[in-house]
A and B are shown apart, each in its own frame.
Chain A
Amino acid sequence: MLEIDSLTKQFFGLTAVDHVSTRIEQGQITAIIGPNGAGKTTFFNLIAGTHAPTSGRIVFKGQDVTGMRPDRVARLGVARTFQTTNLFDNATVLDNLIVGHRLRTHSSLWDVLINSARLREEERLCRAKAMEALDFVGLAHVANRIAADITQEERKRVAFALALATEPELLLLDEPAGGVNPEETVGLAELIQKLVRHGKTVCLIEHKMDMIMQLADKIVVLNNGEKIAEGTADQIRRDPHVIEAYLGADHAAV
């Protein structure tokens, strides 16, 4: 689904991502792991178009998207979540989600000023999509709660819903379980599996190893911007480079 070829990003001489090539397969969960500062988030920023790569190529469903603007990439069907999601705290959760489907609509300023039938239809659609996404992540009951009043875990789920409302094929999740407790992490892992069951492709960055090991079909390990290993959970567990560079001595026995 997504082919990445020799992707490199340099910031003023610092190489954040260094000739990384990999593939994200349709219908699978690919995890990007690596120590802090390994270049994981930069890697996401390159795929999503937030930064243009210094060199290399990104091909999404056969189309070259290298250096494409983020809003265009989103339109093509790549959604992402961030480590923290800024919501408008004074509005309801549902209100916050409605904008998610805007990119699939066509109403212009003129439609807005005359309140055209097309606009009303598209607003109804966006509201329905938002509700559907909220239902999917299991938060239908907080639809009318104001965003300031929801828990950290609910916020994570709202971020998923927001990404889902864009009707993506590929979801890039940046630390989807960061800052939530172990039981909630299990719930979020189940949600990620549910996404895949519904035909989505997932690529995630995560530090919680237990979660990654049981969830990921493929793990890509980055260290200092370079890909040092790639494979299934079992392969990664046994990989000497990974043990040395990332998991540390106490994991060597596993």
Chain B
Amino acid sequence: MMALRTRWPWFVLLAAAIAFPLFAANTYIVSVMSLAFIMAIAALGLNLITGYTGQFNLAHGAFMAVGAYTVGILTTDYQVPYWVAFALAGVTTGVLGYFIGILSLRLKGHYFSIFTLCVSYIMYLLIEKWESLTHGTVGIMGIPAPTGVGSLQFDTPIAQYYLALAFLVLGTFLMSRIVHSLLGRAFMAVRNGDLLAEALGVDLMRTKTLSFVLSVIYAGFAGALYAGQVRFLGPDVANESVTFDLIMFTLVGGVGTLMGPLLGTLLVTWLTQSLQFLQDYRMVVFGPVLIALIIFLPDGIVGTWLKRRARRADAAASLKAATAQGATTATGTETRHA
């Protein structure tokens, strides 16, 4: 009952995503959609460190590139099977994230952001210049598609679509567990303020580092899926504009909400796709829409909606309590930040 009342948007989204390829006019838009799912996985991760833990990481796109290059290099130059490389992409970004995390998270606020922006640029330069490893500007070509599992094959756009969707669902499910748990609450305590969090017994460095590592592992897996789907990698994937896209997706959907980054990624992807006919002028439309969103919905679409729902639930509960004369406020209106 409870589950259905607060979770129906999830079921609607999932049903729509499953049905989508059946109604899609061509495989191009199916591919656009599955790339959007992959970006959404990365955005989910970014939202953990930035939205829930309050540390504005500007290297997220670079970690996605690390994941992608891990798969690219291992599968083409070392003939490692795709899924082994996929797992190693998570490990590589996680380990790298740990060391960059314990360095950068000593800095607070803008300093952390500036530091991570530099990290991002250094990673971009490494990928571009370290030719013996990354093939430099030539890039990596001929990355194999994810190998089939049993009778499942992932070599068609539609199969890739469902693969990306499956990982997005899994990623969202695990993220939901994380952010709604006591651990997630510790992350949010850090976001609300370092000092108060510490006073509540939260080990700042450990908590921030854990959030950072989990967050970049999402980026790493997103990158690994990206490599398997696009099958070509160039240094551009490590460009900081990827990070800024992810931030935009998260802002539009709602920072610090579970559904925000997902919805934001899908909406912005669709908006940019449907403005394609304007060619270079599309930014003239897109820019003002974005600015209007930030001004009028600073909590993002999902954030605004959740706030309204919480207010309404409280108002309804107060009303019920008032009519029940002396009964204490209903406790059944527990609201979760979806």
Q: Which of B198, B256, B329, B337 contacts A70, CB < 8 Å?
A: B198
Tell whether, in the assembled complex, residue A113 and residue B303 are in contact, meaning their CB atoms are under 8 Å apart: no
Q: Which of A82, A119, A140 contacts B181, CB < 8 Å?
A: A119
Q: Which of A75, A90, A98, A126 contacts B306, CB < 8 Å?
A: A90
Query: Count of B residues near A, CB < 8 Å?
Result: 44
The 0/1 profile, CB within 8 Å of B marked 1, for residues 98-127 of chain A is 111011010101011101000100110010
Tell whether, in the assembled complex, residue A105 and residue B182 are in contact, meaning their CB atoms are under 8 Å apart: yes
Q: Which of A99, A115, A140 contacts B328, CB < 8 Å?
A: A140
B interface: dominant SS: helix
- Chain A residues near B331: list those with CB within 8 A: 131, 143-144
Tell whether, in the assembled complex, residue B329 and residue A103 are in contact, meaning their CB atoms are under 8 Å apart: no
Give the residue name and chain of the B residue nearest to A99 (CB). B185
- Given the contacts A90-B306, A92-B310, A102 and B188 also touching, CB distance less than 8 Å: no
Tell whether, in the assembled complex, residue A87 and residue B192 are in contact, meaning their CB atoms are under 8 Å apart: yes
Given contact pairs A82-B199, A109-B183, enumerate 13 new A-B contacts (beta carbons under 8 Å). A70-B199, A71-B200, A74-B200, A80-B199, A88-B192, A90-B256, A90-B307, A99-B185, A99-B200, A102-B182, A109-B178, A146-B314, A162-B200
Q: Which of B183, B188, B306, B329 contacts A144, CB < 8 Å?
A: B329
B177 at interface, CB cutoff 8 A = yes
Q: Which of B198, B202, B328 contacts A50, CB < 8 Å?
A: B198
A232 at interface, CB cutoff 8 A = no
Distance in angstroms between the alpha carbons of A104 and B232 in the assembled complex: 49
- Chain B residues near A80: list those with CB within 8 A: 199
Min distance, Cβ A106 to any Cβ of chain B, angstroms: 10
A233 at interface, CB cutoff 8 A = no
- Chain B residues near A140: list those with CB within 8 A: 328-329
Q: Which of B150-191 contact A (CB under 8 A)?
A: 174, 177-178, 181-186, 188-189, 191
Tell whether, in the assembled complex, residue B202 and residue A71 are in contact, meaning their CB atoms are under 8 Å apart: yes
- Chain B residues near A235: list those with CB within 8 A: none
Min distance, Cβ A41 to any Cβ of chain B, angstroms: 11
A145 at interface, CB cutoff 8 A = yes
Q: Which of A95, A107, A166 contacts B183, CB < 8 Å?
A: A107
- Given the contacts A123-B182, A146-B310, A88 and B188 also touching, CB distance less than 8 Å: yes
Tell whether, in the assembled complex, residue A71 and residue B185 are in contact, meaning their CB atoms are under 8 Å apart: no
Min distance, Cβ B176 to any Cβ of chain A, angstroms: 10
Distance in angstroms between the alpha carbons of A54 and B187 in the assembled complex: 31
Q: Which of A102, A107, A111, A143 contacts B202, CB < 8 Å?
A: A102
A interface: dominant SS: helix
- Chain A residues near B307: list those with CB within 8 A: 90, 146, 148
23 contacts between A and B (CB under 8 A): A69-B203, A74-B198, A79-B200, A86-B196, A87-B192, A88-B191, A90-B303, A90-B306, A91-B335, A99-B186, A99-B188, A102-B185, A102-B200, A102-B201, A107-B181, A107-B182, A112-B177, A112-B184, A119-B182, A141-B328, A144-B329, A144-B333, A163-B199
Binding site for B on A (CB under 8 A): 48-50, 69-71, 74-75, 79-80, 82, 85-88, 90-92, 94-95, 98-100, 102-103, 105, 107, 109, 111-113, 115, 119, 122-123, 126, 131, 140-141, 143-146, 148-149, 162-163, 166
The 0/1 profile, CB within 8 Å of A marked 1, for residues 198-221 of chain B is 111111100000100010000000
B109 at interface, CB cutoff 8 A = no
Tell whether, in the assembled complex, residue A146 and residue B311 are in contact, meaning their CB atoms are under 8 Å apart: yes
B299 at interface, CB cutoff 8 A = yes
Give the residue name and chain of the B residue nearest to A87 (CB). B192
Min distance, Cβ A170 to any Cβ of chain B, angstroms: 12
